[in-house]
Amino acid sequence: MNKAFYLETFGCQMNVVDSERIVDLLEGIGYAQVDAAEKADLVLLNTCSVRDKAERKVYGHLGRFKPIKDQRPELIIGVGGCVAQQEGEKMLEKIPYLDLVFGTHNVHRLPELVQQVEAKRQRGSATEFLDRETRLNLFPQRSVRDNITRFVTVMQGCDNFCSYCIVPQVRGREVSRPSAEIVTEIESLVAQGVREVTLLGQNVNSYGSKDESEISFAQLLRRINAIEGLERLRFATSHPKDMTDELIDCFGELEKLCKHIHLPVQSGSDRILKLMNRGYSSADYLRKVARLQQVCPEIRLTTDIIVGFPGEAEADFQATLELVKQVRYADAFTFLYSPRSGTAAAELSDDQSSMQKQQRFERLLALQNRIGEETWQADLHKVLPVLVEGESKQGEGQMFGRTTWNRIINFTAGTDLIGTIVPVKIIKVFRNSNLGERV
Ligand code: SAH
Ligand code: SF4
Ligand code: F3S
């Protein structure tokens, strides 16, 4: 009989990709995935430590598994991802019912760790960083399971050291994968039915910039754009300082490149951007946005913004509001600053009260909600091309797909449309998705 595993994934797309790899690896040693920890022989959390809240969640979830293990001591419990990377072996000491810990460079060692627990009840951890060569050989390729859209990792790690951010510590240094290998993978995905790929990296548009012999990110996009059978191309997440003119021009040239870019600005205040070590001013950022809008008038932007960075004053916050009004983001992920130990910003003194920060957070949210709603409401009654991805969770006979702006559209149609781009008329606009009808 098959053994069963339950896997929960937190954090960003890097973890989503790693989890897809985990599924393949565990299937390889006789496990099948189930949808509840109660039914599993092995439970795993793939964790995120980008903010304190994300990290605390891990301990909360682990606590949920304890009563199950009390009843069934043979249950194996493991933690992977960024919290595992950060805490390492210490986690085994802290949590007596935890069996294994694997870091962000050690996903491939999971089968071995699981088998050690199975055979000898031997707890284990693997959280060492690997060298460049080894990592290049371990870029996660995963099996295709009726996917229409796929993430393709093109680079890993981050060398930017934004002063607030834990990612460089938990993901290690930047490595870019050889372009020939990326193109081959995408060709193979397309042959298996994939129609849209999203190129992934923590700092995706610095791709190849540290390797003289590698092509630029813009050149990589051009090559991928030429792959026959591929319909759409996206990439995330871009750093504003690495938005070259050559890359911006791609939005005007490449017909498969979707008209959406996630371009985290973090703050509109030059003083705060400097303290954040972001490497651009608000004027630099706005110039790049203007150029994007010039080469591709239909482009929509989304962003990340941090509120309450140490020492952020009302004037700094006002500058952020101004920038948001000027860019008119279709959507923004807004975060309250969360100090991360070991980062430079954690050492900065902070004179703002948490109440002040909370109030600013809500002001920003109210502004962005209004702009976002105006943006999406403008699509009402428009007919837009939608790539149909699969059956919707909204109800029977409903399909879902996305517009070029990555907006989810639910509409009534048959499964035969999956994988095709069809015109859909928008008939209702909700907060995070739209309802459409086929025309
Ligand atoms: N590599 C991507 C994503 C990094 S994490 C990038 O550079 O954009 C995603 C977002 O989390 C960041 O853009 C930032 O807005 C937010 N973030 C990162 N560290 C944070 C912290 N310590 N407190 C609050 N938000 C944080
Ligand atoms: Fe973190 Fe900055 Fe790297 Fe993004 S670019 S992962 S925010 S250090
Ligand atoms: Fe979180 Fe790790 Fe991604 S800290 S945001 S899961 S790289």
Per-residue pLDDT reduced to its tens digit, 321-377: 999 999 999 999 999 999 999 999 999 999 899 999 999 999 999 999 999 999 999
Q: Are 103 and 145 found together in one domain?
A: no
> Residues 107, 142: one domain?
no
For residue 47, the surrounding DSSP H or E stretch is strand 42-47
326 in a structural domain? no
Q: In 195-289, where do the E strands start and end? A: 196-200, 232-236, 260-262
CA 55, 57, 58, 62 torsion-angle sign: positive
Residue 387 CB–ligand 3 contact under 6 Å: no
Q: What is the mean pLDDT of residues 123-149?
A: 92
Residue to substitute in 171, 304, 329, 331 for testing ligand 1 pocket (most ligand atoms within 8 angstroms of CB):
304
**Could you tell me the CATH number of the domain that includes residue 41?**
3.40.50.12160
The enclosing domain of 388 has a CATH number of: 2.40.50.140
Q: Look at the block and give the residue holding tokens 């992934």.
A: 200
Domain total in the chain: 3
pLDDT at 410: 97
pTM: 0.96
| Residue 241, domain CATH | 3.30.750.210
Domain limit, last residue, from 128, 149, 176: 128
Question: Do the Cβ atoms of 263 and 243 come closer than 8 Å?
Answer: yes
List phi, psi (to 5°) of 209: -70, -15
| Mean predicted confidence (pLDDT) in 232-259 | 98
Work out the pLDDT band at 146, boundaries 50, 70, 90. confident
Answer whether 15 contacts ligand 3 (Cβ < 6 A).
yes
Q: Looking at residue 189, what is its pLDDT? A: 96
pLDDT of residue 1: 64
What is the per-residue pLDDT for 62? Answer: 95
- Specify whether the CB–CB gap between 392 and 400 falls below 8 A: yes
Q: Which ligand is nearest to the CA of 52?
A: 1
pLDDT at 46 > cutoff 80:
yes
Q: Where are the beta strands (DSSP E) in 135-204?
A: 149-153, 155-156, 175-176, 196-200
Do 57 and 140 reside in the same domain of the chain?
A: no
Residues 269-299: tens digit of each pLDDT: 999 999 999 999 999 999 999 999 999 999 9
**C-alpha 170 to ligand 3 mean position (Å):** 8
| Percentage with pLDDT > 70 across the chain | 100
61 exposure class (CB count in 10 Å sphere: 0-12, 13-18, 19+): middle
Residue 319 has pLDDT above 70, yes or no: yes
List beta partners, residue 426: 436
Ligand 1: lining residues by beta carbon, under 6 Å: 50-51, 164-165, 167, 202-203, 237, 239, 264, 266, 304, 306, 335, 337-338, 340
pLDDT of residue 420: 97
Per-residue model confidence (pLDDT) at position 368: 98
* Ligand 3 lined by 158 (C-beta under 6 Å): no
In a domain, 264, yes or no: no
Is the pLDDT at 140 greater than 80? The verdict is no
Q: What is the pLDDT of residues 85-106, one digit of tens each?
A: 999 999 999 999 999 999 999 9
From 107, 128, 149, give the residue that closes a domain. Answer: 128
Q: Is the peptide bond before 237 cis (omega within 30 degrees of 0)?
A: yes
Q: Are residues 146 and 251 in the same domain?
A: yes
Is the separation of the CB atoms in 391 and 410 below 8 Å?
A: no
Instruction: Check: CB of residue 340 under 8 Å from CB of residue 49.
Output: yes
- Within 10 A of 259 (CB to CB), how many other CB atoms are there? 15
* 2 has pLDDT over 90: no
* Inter-residue contact 358 to 320 (CB < 8 Å): no
Residues sharing a CB contact under 8 Å with residue 154, sequence separation 6 or more, in sequence order? 176, 177, 182, 199, 200, 201, 204, 207, 220, 235
* pLDDT tens-digit readout, 374-397: 999 999 999 999 999 999 988 889
Say if residue 120 is in the same domain as residue 11: yes
Q: Over pLDDT 90: what percentage of the chain?
A: 95
Tokens describing residue 275: 């303290």
Q: 409 in helix, strand or coil?
A: strand
Separation of 296 CA from ligand 3 center, angstroms?
31
